[in-house]
């Protein structure tokens, strides 16, 4: 008799993959600000703190470097990337470019389910606006935009968006502080959803151009002032 010939519902063992775990730990530390921009990421220190050897730490660092969170300077090690205002502009410019494209594609292949999913996520955004949890609000905001990229059907584009987001997340937390009213943030997403449901390309492009660039002006200014405020040249990005 065939005892175990059928799946019995065992969850896959989480691969105790050190590298990705370390990468996440570092990412968290960077986002949380415990590793400040420009700070040196000493392999030995990290390895000691995590109780592992340097090899996986190095690989994790390279991973984060490819994501733009760290920069490697030969023979000197890894440093938390300092974003010059121009860099952030570039990043955001790229994000807009990507997301507009995604939105157009998503609209072209919009299904009833997709429409519902977008609406739902937007509702979630309203809900979290009620709570006083800025981190959550940023997260749900991100997920709305990510959902659009997902619905573009272009998986490579989605991956790119995630990469850009991990870079932007360091900065994007600032956006939430621009408006005191998170409810208004949710509202600004309405035209986006509307334009996708509408389906007109020019309409979509305009809506996203506006929604994305408008709040950005404030952030850019804020970043610029912050940059000049602590005008301590930490690490040259070049």
By a kind-dependent CB cut-off of 5 to 8 A, residue 44 interacts, out of a second copy, DNA, none, with DNA
Least Cβ distance, residue 15 to a second copy (angstroms): 5
Q: Report the residue from 7, 11, 16, 231 that binds DNA according to the rule CB under 7 A.
A: 16
Determine, following the binding rule CB under 8 A, whether residue 123 of this chain makes contact with a second copy: no
Determine, following the binding rule CB under 7 A, whether residue 14 of this chain makes contact with DNA: no
Q: Report the residue from 76, 180, 202, 229 that binds DNA according to the rule CB under 7 A.
A: 76
Determine, following the binding rule CB under 7 A, whether residue 238 of this chain makes contact with DNA: no
For residue 28, is it left (φ>0), alpha (ψ between -120 and 50) or beta?
alpha
Instruction: Compute how many residues bind a second copy; rule: CB under 8 A.
Output: 27
Nearer to DNA, 24 or 184 (CB): 24
Structure tokens at 187: 């509202």
Q: Report the residue from 28, 49, 93, 123 that binds a second copy according to the rule CB under 8 A.
A: 93
Q: What is the C-alpha separation between 232 and 235, in angstroms, rounded?
A: 9
Residue whose C-alpha is closest to residue 71's, from 55, 94, 87, 49: 87
Please compute, for residue 21, the number of CA atoms within 13 A of its CA located in the half-sphere on the CB side: 11
Determine, following the binding rule CB under 8 A, whether residue 73 of this chain makes contact with a second copy: no
User: What angle, rounded to 10 degrees, do the helices at 18-32 and 54-66 form?
Assistant: 60
Q: Of the listed pieces 44-52, 123-131, 197-205, 210-218, which binds DNA according to CB under 7 A?
A: 44-52
- Chain centroid to CA 90: 15
Q: What is the C-alpha separation between 33 and 155, in angstroms, rounded?
A: 30
DSSP-assigned letter for residue 153: -
Structure tokens at 206: 């305009």
- Residues found near a second copy in the complex (CB under 8 A): 15-17, 55, 58-59, 62-63, 66-68, 74-75, 87, 90-91, 93-94, 97-98, 101, 105, 154-157, 160
- Residues found near DNA in the complex (CB under 7 A): 1-5, 16-19, 40-45, 51-56, 58, 72, 74-78
């Amino acid at each position: 008799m065939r005892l175990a010939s059928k799946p019995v519902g065992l969850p896959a063992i989480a691969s105790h993959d050190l590298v990705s775990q370390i990468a996440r730990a570092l990412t968290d530390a960077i986002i949380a600000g415990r590793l400040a921009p420009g700070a040196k990421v000493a392999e030995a220190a990290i390895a000691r703190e995590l109780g592992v050897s340097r090899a996986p730490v190095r690989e994790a660092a390279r991973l984060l470097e490819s994501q733009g969170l760290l920069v490697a300077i030969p023979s000197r090690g890894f440093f938390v990337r300092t974003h010059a205002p121009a860099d952030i502009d570039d990043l955001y410019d790229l994000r807009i470019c990507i997301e507009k494209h995604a939105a157009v594609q998503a609209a072209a292949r919009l299904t009833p389910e997709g429409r519902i999913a977008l609406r739902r996520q937007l509702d979630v955004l309203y809900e979290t606006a009620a709570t006083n949890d800025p981190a959550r609000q940023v997260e749900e905001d991100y997920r709305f935009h990510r959902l659009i990229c997902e619905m573009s059907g272009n998986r490579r584009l989605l991956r790119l968006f995630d990469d850009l987001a991990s870079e932007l997340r360091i900065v994007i937390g600032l956006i939430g502080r621009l408006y005191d009213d998170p409810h208004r943030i949710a509202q600004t997403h309405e035209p986006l959803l509307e334009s996708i449901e509408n389906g007109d390309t020019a309409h979509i492009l305009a809506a996203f151009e506006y929604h994305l660039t408008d709040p950005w002006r404030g952030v850019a200014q804020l970043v610029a002032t912050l940059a000049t405020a602590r005008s301590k040249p930490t690490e040259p990005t070049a």
